[in-house]
């Protein structure tokens, strides 16, 4: 670990000893189940703690990284220098009429369940995405003809000056896998969704239908980060990879899924290096065969070993 104990002790004063973990393996916090240790992993339990930790990091010239559910993240084998701020304990969900107010760390499955319980429709598409509401807003996540941009009303964020402010849907600048959050480096604290009152049985039927589709078509039994590549304009990444003859191709324990070629999976014990080599190989082969550039949807961070 590269951080001194004075800095660690300041973190403990802000967060409490129980919410500061040293040298924590990131493979325990990503759906890909790979990644070396973070110098320090912290769990804020309120928004004030977050602003204080960021202020301390900036004053101490220490890098920090915001972590949601780790479902769209590939951490390299050397881990992460600095502080990882994990939002898992900020997961409160509140219903207000046709609106759902969810803290950034709330899981999409839990938000979907809350919508169903209150007979609110429009969020069914997210029921099986293994991410947090903050991460989904940042990436403008979508599936099965649904997208966060269709249901977002506003978001509470920390801006570049360390100030908390509310952004309207328009100010969020949502486009395909992009938002003002990513563009300007903001941090999502809370999200407000605007849904539509609906029939509970129909909502449940749609959730069941999408859950079955995912089970049938996606390799949910293996660790992965979902769709590894963004959809190239005019194509489907999975079909290009399959047509390049790469289905089932592997580097170590990292493999192009036999079930869905758009998913790169960890069959057990893969290193981040294995996954990165496989990503590079897939990109090269698809470009050689079809002249199409595949860009990763999964976010790649951290240090090489």
- Average of pLDDT values for 15-42? 96
Cα–Cα distances (Å) from 302 to 29, 64, 81, in that order, read 14, 11, 7
- Average of pLDDT values for 270-295? 97
Cα–Cα distances (Å) from 97 to 52, 154, 247, in that order, read 33, 15, 47
Query: Between 160 and 1, where is the model more confident?
Result: 160
Domains of the chain: 5-86 (3.30.43.10), 93-202 (3.30.465.10), 219-301 (3.90.78.10)
* Residue 91's pLDDT band (cuts 50, 70, 90): very high
**The one catalytic residue among 24, 124, 255, 297:** 297
Q: Are 215 and 186 in contact (CB under 8 A)?
A: no
Active site residue 12: no
Q: How far apart are CA 264 and CA 228, in angstroms?
A: 6
Q: Are 123 and 112 in contact (CB under 8 A)?
A: yes
Is residue 3 classed exposed, middle or buried when 0-12, 13-18 and 19+ CB atoms within 10 A define those classes?
middle
User: What tens digit of pLDDT does each residue of 209-256 get?
Assistant: 999 988 898 898 999 998 899 999 999 999 999 999 999 999 999 999
User: Which pLDDT does position 272 carry in this prediction?
Assistant: 97
Answer yes or no: is pLDDT of 1 > 80: no
Q: Which of 281, 289, 178, 277 is nearest to 239 (CA)?
A: 289
**The one catalytic residue among 81, 177, 206, 299:** 177
Active site residue 177: yes
Mean pLDDT of the chain: 94
**The one catalytic residue among 227, 257, 261, 271:** 227
Active site residue 166: no
């Amino acid at each position: 670990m590269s951080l001194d104990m004075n800095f660690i002790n300041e973190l403990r004063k802000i967060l409490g000893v129980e919410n500061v973990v040293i040298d924590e393996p990131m493979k325990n916090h990503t759906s890909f189940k790979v990644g070396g240790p973070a110098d320090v992993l912290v769990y804020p339990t309120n928004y004030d703690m977050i602003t204080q930790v960021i202020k301390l990091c900036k004053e101490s010239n220490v890098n920090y990284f915001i972590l949601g559910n780790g479902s769209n993240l590939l951490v390299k084998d050397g881990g992460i220098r600095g502080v990882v701020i994990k939002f898992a304990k900020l997961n409160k969900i509140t219903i207000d009429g046709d609106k759902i107010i969810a803290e950034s760390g709330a899981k999409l499955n839990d938000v979907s369940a809350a919508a169903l319980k209150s007979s609110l429709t429009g969020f069914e598409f997210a029921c099986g995405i293994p991410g947090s509401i903050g991460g989904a807003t940042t990436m403008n996540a979508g599936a099965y003809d649904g997208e966060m941009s269709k249901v977002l009303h506003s978001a509470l964020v920390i801006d570049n000056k360390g100030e908390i402010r509310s952004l309207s849907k328009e100010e969020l600048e949502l486009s395909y896998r992009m938002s003002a959050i990513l563009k300007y480096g903001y941090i999502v604290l809370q999200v407000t969704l605007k849904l539509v009152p609906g029939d509970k049985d129909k909502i449940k039927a749609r959730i069941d239908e999408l859950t079955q589709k995912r089970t049938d078509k996606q390799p949910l039994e293996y660790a992965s980060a979902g769709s590894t590549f963004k959809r190239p304009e005019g194509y489907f990444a999975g079909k290009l990879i399959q047509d390049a003859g790469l289905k089932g191709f592997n580097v170590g324990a990292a493999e192009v899924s036999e079930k869905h070629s758009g998913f790169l999976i960890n069959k057990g014990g893969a290193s981040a290096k294995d996954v990165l080599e496989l990503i590079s190989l897939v990109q090269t082969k698809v470009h050689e065969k079809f002249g199409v550039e595949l860009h990763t949807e999964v976010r790649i961070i951290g240090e090489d070993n």
